[in-house]
Amino acid sequence: MFAAHTVILIILLYVMCLFGLAVWVERRTRFRSSSLMPGWVYALSLAVFFTSWTFYGSVGFAVQSGMLFLGIYVGALLSVIFWWVTLRRMVAVKEVFRITSIADFISTRYRRSQRIAALVTILALTGVAPYISLQLTAVVSSFSIITGSNESDAWDMTGLLVMLMMLAFTIMFGIRRLDPTERHSGMIAVLVAECLVKLVALGVVGVFIIGAVFGDLNELAFALSQDDLSYLTEFQQPSHSVLMWTTLVVLGFAAVQFLPRQFHVSVVESSDQRHIKTAMWMFPLYLILINLFVIPIAAAGLKLGLPIGSADFFVLKVPRYLGNDLMTLLAFIGGFAAATGMIIISTMTLATMTSNHLVLPVCGKVRFLEPLQGYLLQIRWVIAALIMVASYVLAMVLSNSYILAAMGLISFVAVLQLAPALLIGMFWRQGNSMGAMLGLFAGYILWGWTLIIPSMIAEGWLPPTIMTHGPWGISWLRPEAFLGIEFLPPLIHSVFWSMLFNILFYLLGSWFYHPQKQERALTREFMAAMLSRGKVSGKARPTGLDAYIALEPKLTEAHDLLVRYLGADKTDESINRITDDLQVSGKPYLTIIELMEFHRMLEHILAGSIGSASAHSAMEERINYNEREAADLKALYSHIVNELQGQMRVDQPSENAEGGYMFLDQMQSQLDELETTISDQKKRISELELRLEARYEEIFKHRMEAQKLKVENDSLRRRLVDVSDTVDVSLPPDTDKGSH
């Protein structure tokens, strides 16, 4: 057993080490490109997914339900399989649109709707902020266990201290700049360190417990085969229905991608899409290792006769029961690392989302609040403090209550509501803002009604008659028997109804609502951005300025084209002149703008030899663009059109134009009109060509007739002349004179 002041001192030393690491890493990377973050650092930072709910709670879950605790992690593994399709696309979109959060990502997909962003933010606050309370509760409870103190006293001292330290750390290394898209190298380094600490701590404690309680793995296997412990390794139990397994798998699949903290570390902090491939094998390996000792620790606690009600803290209580203070302290530090990593990154992401999508829109609409827009950074600090304090107060009030104990899965169900709008929207172009808004709202309401309301009733905050008779006596609105369905467990019941209505309203809204041109334009730009492949720049750059096109293949392509018409010597001379004029000689890569100019000059040279029309046809046949090049060319052209249209709106504002300048506004609709016009013109040209050909045939016939008539006329004229001459010769001379 440790004295309280000793543990507090250890906590302070640990946090000071984290501060030192963060400062050292930030100073080291200050003058270096943030894209130099190694892939293994990125992969380990994703392990912030494993919180104190994993470190402590997995053992408690296993004691209650055996192998069912793996359901969440099986879902996470399935999600990892699709990361190269889903996560890579998110990172590509982030680089193009400078995404700052998952709310920003979803709203960008749906015409940058502030209403959708605000709804996602509110959902995240109500679903994830209490999860922060759960982490604070884990820290305080573990502190009271390791010190033997009263938990209520620990809240006044340890809880407040931890909350203040985490707030200071979050502000110093997460919210000290306005641009959340910048890499937070110090914060990521701390996350990686804490992920290693909790993994090593759980591994060492697990090995110690196996050795101290069972002796070796054979004894452990024998103990698990006994009747009283055999259920720990069983996948099929009465409570392990297929529906329960499926529900947990779905929750894990969504949580590992759509939790705000996971989105931030996996998407916003990403510096290279290739790091995703590293994460696709390191993250599953980490997942396996951190869950390797869950069943042995659960079996050890049960074998030692520890109360099942305290199974969540067997990781601490077993070493303490065995009298090993060092292992007990190591387990406490591991749990502390698991909790604080989640607290730091979640507070930062929630503060960013709240300031961007709740506070700033209100400041823009309320006149006397407009001056606050110049203090965005300070607003984020205040919001972070409010989130942390609110989580602390909520955790203290709800300590050891049902609602807080269930908050882990409740939060996962809340995050699951983001899946239809995000996942379907990434692959279904017809999804629109109306569908997303209706789906999110319906899912959010059903989540609150079927999970939060029953929890509040269990706490005694609402009358229990709502559960038995429904609100106002409407039985089919009972929270745990919605529409009369009573046989489903509460968690499955909530997931089923919330997702059913979420997806249904999303599809119906998208089918029946016809979005405006601006939304369709942004959707196409969003979809095109997901085609970006390979290494992305450290900072998002405007379309056209990113040099990613290899020059050598383009030179070879141009040479093969010109040599067909100009000869080898002339071709080399022409290509050298073009590269010198563009100042790209010796460059390994081109921008899309340079490539456009290269091809324009290439066509100009070719036109001088074979004519403009033939040169254009030859370019179309021989010059190829990959998907990203074609998308960037289209976006660049559209942006130029949009710039010109924007100037026209300044001089002659349109009544229907929205306020403010939107990048790529109306550009794709202009292209659609042009493409439609071109298609119509091609059809008309084809018709005109047929008519012209028919006319040519008629003209040819007329010419033939005219020529025939001319020949006949000439023949008649000659015959008339011959006849006239014959008559003159046959007349006598007197007759001729008399005629005169």
The whole-angstrom separation of Cα 248 and Cα 526 is 31
**Separation of alpha carbons 499 and 630, rounded Å:** 37
In this model, does residue 535 exceed pLDDT 50?
Answer: no
The answer to whether the beta carbons of residues 582 and 601 sit under 8 Å apart is yes
**Which tops the pLDDT comparison, 693 or 84?**
84
The stretch 384-390 carries a mean pLDDT of 88
pLDDT digits (tens, 9 = 90+) for 207-224: 999 988 888 888 888 888
Per-residue model confidence (pLDDT) at position 670: 57
Q: Residue 445: which residues within 8 A CB-CB, separation 6 or more?
A: none
pLDDT tier, 403 (very low <50, low <70, confident <90, very high otherwise): low
HSE-up of residue 162 (Cα within 13 Å, Cβ side): 33
Q: Is the pLDDT of residue 249 over 70?
A: yes
Q: How far apart are CA 259 and CA 651, in angstroms?
A: 45
Share of the chain above pLDDT 90, in %: 15
Enter the DSSP assignment of 658.
P
Residue 15: which of 184, 185, 163 has the closest Cα?
Answer: 163
**Encoded amino acid at 449, one letter:** W
Q: Which of 593, 559, 598 lies closest to 578, judged by CA?
A: 598
For the chain, the average pLDDT equals 79
Structural domains for the chain: 42-427 (1.20.1730.10), 433-514 (no CATH)
Which residue do the tokens 């709502």 mark? 466
pLDDT tens digits along 131-157: 888 888 888 888 888 887 776 666 666
Handedness of CA 422, 424, 430, 433 (dihedral sign): negative
The CA R_g of the chain, rounded to the nearest whole Å, is 37
What pLDDT band is residue 664 in, cutting at 50, 70 and 90? very low
Answer yes or no: is pLDDT of 530 > 80.
Answer: no
Residue of 71 and 3 predicted with greater confidence = 71
Q: What is the pLDDT of residues 474-483, one digit of tens each?
A: 888 888 888 8
- Name, in order, each residue with C-beta under 8 angstroms of 319's C-beta and a sequence gap of 6 or more: 205, 208, 209, 327, 328, 331
Flag whether pLDDT at 616 surpasses 60: yes
- Exposed, middle or buried, 709 (CB in 10 Å: 0-12/13-18/19+)? exposed
Contact between 171 and 381 (Cβ < 8 Å): yes
pLDDT of residue 582: 82
DSSP H/E element including 659: none
Closest CA to 579 of 554, 562, 560: 554
b/e for 558-583, b at 16 or more Cβ within 10 A?
beebbeeebeeeebeebbeebbeebe
Residue 26: C-alpha distances to residues 22, 173, 271 (Å): 6, 9, 16
> Measuring CA to CA, which residue among 358, 394, 369 is closest to residue 120?
358
d(CA 161, CA 140): 10
Indicate whether 380 pLDDT > 80.
yes
- pLDDT category at 225 given cuts 50, 70, 90 is confident
| pLDDT computed for residue 638 by the predictor | 61
Closest by alpha carbon to 245, among 131, 50, 78? 78
pLDDT value of position 738: 46
For the record, the structure tokens of 403 come out as: 């609602």
Mean pLDDT value across residues 191-196:
91
pLDDT tens-digit map of 334-366: 988 888 888 888 888 898 888 888 888 887 777
pLDDT of residue 423: 92
Contact 435, 98 (CB under 8 A): no
CA–CA separation, 41 and 551 (whole Å): 32
Helices then strands, counting H and E runs in the chain, come out as 36, 2
663 has pLDDT over 90: no
Of 342-351, 495-504, 657-666, the poorest mean pLDDT is in 657-666
| Whole-number Å distance between alpha carbons of 709 and 464 | 108
User: What distance in Å separates the CA atoms of residue 106 and residue 137, rounded to the nearest whole number?
Assistant: 32
Q: What is the pLDDT of residue 554?
A: 85
pLDDT score of 652: 38
CA count, 13 A, side-chain hemisphere, 295 = 22
Total residue length of the chain: 740
Q: Residue 592 burial (CB < 10 Å; 0-12/13-18/19+)?
A: buried
- The pLDDT of residue 287 is above 90: yes
**DSSP H or E stretch at residue 550:** strand 549-550
pLDDT of 373 reads 67
> For the residues 562-582, what does the mean pLDDT come to?
82
What was the pLDDT predicted at 481?
82
Residues 6+ apart with CB under 8 A from 299: 214, 220, 223, 224, 229, 232
For residue 653, the model assigns a pLDDT of 39
Task: Indicate the pLDDT class of residue 539, thresholds 50, 70 and 90.
Answer: very low
Proportion of the chain above pLDDT 70, given as a percent: 82
In this prediction, residue 46 carries a pLDDT of 92
Rounded CA-CA distance 326/501 in Å is: 51
The pLDDT of residue 421 is above 50: yes
pLDDT digit string, tens, across residues 37-50: 688 888 899 999 99
Interhelix angle 4-29/114-147, nearest 10 degrees = 140
Angle at 529 between CA 525 and CA 534, to 5 degrees: 165
Of 171, 205, 240, 227, nearest in space to 22 by CA: 171
Given a contact cutoff of 8 angstroms between Cβ atoms, the answer to whether 319 and 327 are in contact is yes
DSSP lists the bridge partners of residue 549 as 590
> pLDDT higher for 484 or 423?
423
Q: By C-alpha distance, which of 502, 333, 328 is closest to 415?
A: 502
Q: Is residue 538 very low, low, confident or very high in pLDDT (cuts 50, 70, 90)?
A: very low
